[in-house]
DNA sequence: GTCTATAAGCCGATAGAC
DNA sequence: GTCTATCGGCTTATAGAC
């Protein structure tokens, strides 16, 4: 695999995630990668091709071995607990994934949304949907997928905002506190007797 | 109130929401507003000031009379149902609010996040937090606010993506289907007997 | 309060040397 | 495969007429 192109993708991913497509320039990407702007065009035909390469890498192979881990546990409650925890870890450790996902959500280009769904959500979404069907047979599994994804991503992305919101405390930054809240909400809702 | 400045803010809001800060140019905003780029500088000192004016308007006075509507209903279950419905309507009808909110979430500038929290979430967040304390006394009200906001905003924003995800059907676009799903999830979780 | 004109600089992309 | 140089165009912002 071409090492230079691969390195360019890594650097570009960081910049696209942080600054958005139009906020990141070929020049600044080249500088951060220690090369020149013109050199990028040897590896990618244009800026959009570079961006698509970034998406292809970061929205791929994210399925992880979640299904295998869950297969060992039989109690549904514990299974959901593990699922939420794994998913939070997965999405937390890859900040770029989260940022790129939210940026793509704001995109209106339909083909780009399709690429997003097929790649990210290709394997991972199918795995998750199957797990959710088992764990929540009573609920619409498609909407559950969106609820779970929304809860996990929004809680993580809103961590920066949390301190300024009513009741925001330090403990609300902790991953296990978030995991417990989401799990409890998903399992029993707000009204457990 | 200056009508020209006000009109500029409206036009700018649309463009910033759709294309982001660096994607929207002073020229394109001026063109859409039917004036010239230089004229904007008579009303706003620079691009950032225009952007802040957009945020100030769109993240303000969004509290609505949700609290009043809810005060008339005593049954907690119905109260939550109404809350979710109202919130979905509120956030659905103002697409720009949603887009600007997600874009600001991606922002790292701490002062900007503070402005966001104080303005948007100033009044509305306090109202919602109070309501959530009543409706979900067992749960952490701060995390509940983030869960509720995340569910509502993510479901609405992911509507474009939904058709490409596993199990996505036309009915999942309907506001009342989303409302029922979110309400059910919040009330009882996934495991109601 | 809006215009034209322009400054100074960054943008994506290409040409061609090495 | 990477460089320098450059093109045409667009960017924010300002100057000054009306």
**Helix B26-33 and helix B47-58: axis angle, to 10°?**
60
DSSP B131-187: HHHHH-TTS-HHHHHHHHHHHHHHHHHTTTTGGGSTT--GGGG-HHHHHHHHHHHHH
Of B77, B139, B166, the CB nearest to A125: B166
What CATH code is assigned to A3-58?
A: 1.10.10.60
Crossing angle for the helix pair A110-135 and A95-105, to the nearest 10 degrees:
120
For residue B58, what pLDDT is reported? 87
Residue whose Cα is closest to the C1' of C5: B38
> How high is the pLDDT of residue A61?
64
Question: pLDDT tens across B102-153, in order?
Answer: 999 998 888 889 888 887 677 888 889 999 999 999 999 999 999 999 999 9
> With left for phi above 0 and alpha for psi between -120 and 50, is residue B25 left, alpha or beta?
beta
Across A2-6, A148-152, B32-36, least confident range:
A2-6
Q: Sign of dihedral through CA atoms A157, A161, A163, A166?
A: negative
The residue behind tokens 């509305």 is: B124
Instruction: Answer whether A160 touches B (CB < 8 Å).
Output: yes
How far is residue B109 from each of residues A18, B115, B116, measured CA to CA in Å? 11, 10, 11
pLDDT at A110: 87
Q: What's the pLDDT score for residue A82?
A: 94
Could you give the count of Cα atoms lying within 13 Å of A119 in the half-sphere of its Cβ?
Answer: 19
pLDDT digits (tens, 9 = 90+) for A151-160: 999 999 999 9
pLDDT reported for residue A132:
94
Residue B180 touches chain A, beta carbons under 8 Å: no
Nearest to A143 by CA among B150, B167, B77: B167
Q: Is the pLDDT of residue A173 over 70?
A: yes
Residues in B touching A172 (Cβ below 8 Å): 140, 142-143
Q: Is A170 helix (H, G, I), strand (E, B) or coil?
A: helix
What count of other Cβ atoms lies within 10 Å of the Cβ of residue A30? 18
The CATH number of B66-188 is: 1.10.357
Interval A6-29 mean pLDDT: 98
Contacts of B157 (CB under 8 A, 6+ apart): A105, A106, B98, B99, B102
Estimate in Å the CA A22 to C1' D8 gap, whole number.
19
pLDDT tops 70 at residue A33: yes
- Distance CA(A22)–CA(B120), nearest Å, equals 26
pLDDT recorded at residue A1: 67
Distance CA B177, CA B170 (A): 10
Q: Which residue has the tokens 């279950």?
A: B77
Q: Is A104 helix (H, G, I), strand (E, B) or coil?
A: helix
d(CA B29, CA A192) in angstroms, rounded, equals 51
Q: Which of residues 3-22 of B touch A (CB under 8 A)?
A: 18-22
Res B1: pLDDT: 66
- Cβ neighbours of residue A173 under 8 Å, at least 6 residues apart? A159, A162
Chain C: bases < 7 Å from a protein Cβ? 1-5, 10-16
**Closest residue to D14 by CA to C1' distance?**
B38
B150, B165, B178 ranked by CB distance to A121: nearest = B165
Contact B150 A155 (CB under 8 A): yes
How far is residue A149's CA from residue A98's CA, in Å, rounded to a whole number? Answer: 11
**pLDDT given at position B118:** 80
Confidence of residue A114 (pLDDT cuts 50, 70, 90): confident
> Could you state, in order of their start, the residue ranges of all structural domains in chain B?
3-58, 66-188
HSE-up of residue B19 (Cα within 13 Å, Cβ side): 15
> How high is the pLDDT of residue A70?
85
The dihedral sign for the CA sequence B120, B124, B126, B129: negative
Q: Calculate Rg over the CA atoms of chain B.
A: 19
In this structure, the number of other CB atoms found within 10 A of the CB of residue A183 comes to: 20
What is the Cα–Cα distance from A181 to A88, expressed in whole angstroms? 12
Residue A48 confidence (pLDDT): 97
pLDDT value of residue A117: 83
How many Cβ atoms are within 10 Å of A28's Cβ, its own excluded? Answer: 15
Q: Which of residues 117-136 of B touch A (CB under 8 A)?
A: 117-118, 121, 125-126, 129, 135-136
DSSP calls for B86-136: HHHHHHHH-HHHHHHHHHHHT---HHHHHHHHHHHHHHHHHHHHHHHHHH-
Q: Which token pair is B63?
A: 């509290």
Average the pLDDT over B15-20 and give the result. 98
Neighbours of B36 (CB within 10 A): 12
pLDDT tens, A38-78? Answer: 999 999 999 999 999 999 898 876 766 788 888 889 898 99
Closest CA to A33 of A12, A2, A47: A12
Determine the nucleotide nearest to A34 by Cα–C1' distance.
D2
Average of per-residue pLDDT across A101-122: 85
Asked if B150 contacts A151 with a C-beta cutoff of 8 angstroms, the reply is yes
Q: What is the pLDDT of residue A38?
A: 98
List, as one string, the DSSP characters of B58-73: HTSS--TTHHHHHHT-
**pLDDT tens sequence across A71-98:** 889 898 999 999 999 999 999 999 999 9
């Amino acid at each position: 695999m071409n090492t230079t192109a691969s390195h360019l993708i890594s650097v570009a991913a960081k910049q696209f995630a942080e600054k958005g497509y139009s906020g990141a320039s070929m020049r600044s990407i080249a500088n951060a990668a220690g090369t020149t702007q013109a050199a990028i065009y040897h590896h990618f035909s244009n800026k959009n091709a570079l961006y698509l390469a970034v998406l292809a890498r970061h929205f791929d192979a994210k399925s992880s071995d979640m299904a295998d881990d869950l297969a060992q546990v039989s109690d549904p409650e514990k299974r959901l607990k593990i699922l939420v925890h794994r998913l939070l870890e997965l999405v937390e450790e890859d900040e770029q994934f989260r940022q790129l996902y939210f940026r793509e959500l704001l995109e209106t280009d339909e083909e780009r949304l399709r690429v997003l769904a097929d790649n990210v959500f290709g394997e991972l979404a199918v795995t998750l949907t199957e797990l959710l069907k088992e764990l929540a047979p009573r609920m619409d599994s498609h909407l559950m997928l969106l609820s779970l994804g929304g809860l996990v991503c929004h809680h993580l992305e809103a961590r920066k905002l949390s301190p300024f919101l009513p009741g925001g405390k330090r403990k609300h930054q902790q991953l296990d506190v978030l995991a417990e809240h989401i799990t409890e909400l998903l399992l029993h809702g707000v009204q457990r007797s």
